[in-house]
Structure 1
């Protein structure tokens, strides 16, 4: 395998590389959906093997479409070179397996972490049935696995490890979970800060404000819903990749929302409020039929202590808990 040396072309594929904001987007599916909608081919790069220490673990991905990139692997050690190979794959359609770091044939590319990264780069055609299937599974919030040898690509439905691969015959299987969602009910500065921060950190943020203003919030959210909380949750559907935070400060809405979220299997359920209100709220939920197991999953007065009580400080502490709860690394299976 030859190394690409056209650094200008590599930089073109990493548009804005002086300020590599492409690394902020970790889920390649939104960029893939845009590419397919525009009839563009994409180069998908998947980190399938890590030796030693590395910034990202197996399963990390980058997507290259036109002059845009999404995702990152190493914090600027190899992204430019991967972009060059992606350009080749887009041009000729031939998959490439790349090896960086320890044992690599490219001694001029050093990984500051001292490990080794193995990456598959494959072309996804704009009419790819597998890519369309992958996006449909995300829309329906179902788990699936992208399995590929670099040329033959297929979607396998069902649960599997996040990443697995085989050498002979070579194949990579990368699991895709439903996009992470954060549903916040409320309309005070704290609720708005949490919804805003959720959007900024890559969540599909949904703001529920019963009988709220007709105008949309002054920042982007995936959805703005004005119906009662329990009704909204029933309509949206719940799963373990969804977090719900009740922040209306009205038990009429927050208690019903938490009960619906607990029974719906949400991966994180919390209610903002003073600690002095906790006993009464727990009693009300028991009276409404909540089991002890369900209540054990409920977080009252959520967040990280000591950050402060300003809206952004509270939101940061809560979102940190949400990220930890929904992190695939927390899975026991």
Structure 2
């Protein structure tokens, strides 16, 4: 939702009718993950994507019907019949269920401002949407602390929806679920942007900030040296923290949505920062350096109280092995490693197969 929110906000200010299409189910290997969204207007404006191109035109046409009659619906797309050249289908061999709804509906009118504010405040939120029945499109908003807003048409469905939403908030994965024998719902997860904490305002950190922001990360650059950590060098960083990195990391309280790249190449900054980071819940901790220096690094971290299990989490040297030399290449290597971990591919597989035949 975050990637299309600004366009939707602009269109609403222009009094344009807007429909949102969301992938609620997928089989096979779709181009876009479950929860991906596309928003359209009646004047052929589009933002976001549900497949990367192969069915967007068909989804647009279905969305126009929803905008016309106000009735939300689910449309299934599968593999096209090779014998029917005009049939709409997915060349990737997948099948998708796409739920399409109008932002002019009473449900969206009720919840839109809350959802927008939630995005601004970067709060974790689950949105349960009924996919079938008389109340198709009804929504229940659920926060991690148990607060709710809205409803699903009956106390029984709301109880089931709340339970399912709390479960998905823990996994942070969007999912279609059965709330009863008849009722099906989609649980969408509004995630705060992942944080990338870069320790060391060095030359490598400059392209890292730009690339990370393009990938949707909130970027925080930490360095006690004002000559390095300043707006002239880092105009686009979301936050500059002029503080000893170990102290800053402790205050930032890294969670599973936080990734930490230690790149100052200065042991008096790096090792205390790594010790604090490895003891946290951060999803990723990596450090710049050579393979030759890893044993020395591990010994230093042991002396700082880091356990063996915590040491196993360390990515050293940081980044994927792509032969990176220039700062921009190293930044790409680091972000590629982080993305791999983010998608559950930590330390698995090759960058590329040697041959496809």
What TM-score bracket applies, with the shorter chain setting the length?
A: 0.7 to 0.9
Match of 1:62 in 2: 38
1:29 aligned onto 2:5: no
DSSP 3-state at the match of 2:204: helix
Please give the TM-score of this superposition, normalised by the length of structure 1.
Answer: 0.77
Moved more, 314-323 or 210-219: 210-219
Q: Which has the higher contact order (CA 8 A, sep 6+)?
A: 1
Deviations 1:49-80 (A, max 9, x none): 22444323433222346875443222211112
CA RMSD of aligned residues (A): 3.3
Match of 2:197 in 1: 183
Residue 195 of structure 1: how far off its partner (Å): 2.1
Structure 1, unpaired ranges of 5+:
1-27
State how 1:223-238 maps to structure 2 within 5 Å: 223-238=239-254
Indicate how the Cα distance of structure 1 residues 304 and 88 shifts in structure 2: closer, same or farther if over 3 A, else same.
same
Higher-Rg structure is: 2
Moved more, 175-184 or 129-138: 129-138
Please, which of 141, 146, 153 is the counterpart of residue 155 of structure 1? 141
Moved more, 217-226 or 62-71: 62-71
Deviations 1:187-240 (A, max 9, x none): 222222222221122222222232235425455232232222233323433111
Match of 2:114 in 1: 132
Please, which of 74, 97, 102 is the counterpart of residue 97 of structure 1? 74
State how 1:196-215 maps to structure 2 within 5 Å: 196-210=210-224, 211=226, 212-215=228-231
Measure, in 2, the Cα distance between the counterparts of 1:38 and 1:141: 24
Alpha carbons 1:29, 1:135 under 8 Å: kept: no
Alignment length (residue pairs) = 302
Measure, in 1, the Cα distance between the counterparts of 2:62 and 2:323: 44
Residue 267 of structure 1: how far off its partner (Å): 0.3
Please give the TM-score of this superposition, normalised by the length of structure 2.
Answer: 0.72
DSSP 3-state at the match of 1:62: strand
Structure 2, unpaired ranges of 5+:
131-135, 144-165, 347-357
DSSP 3-state at the match of 1:189: coil
1:165 aligned onto 2:147: no
Match of 1:84 in 2: 61
Please, which of 252, 257, 262 is the counterpart of residue 273 of structure 2? 257
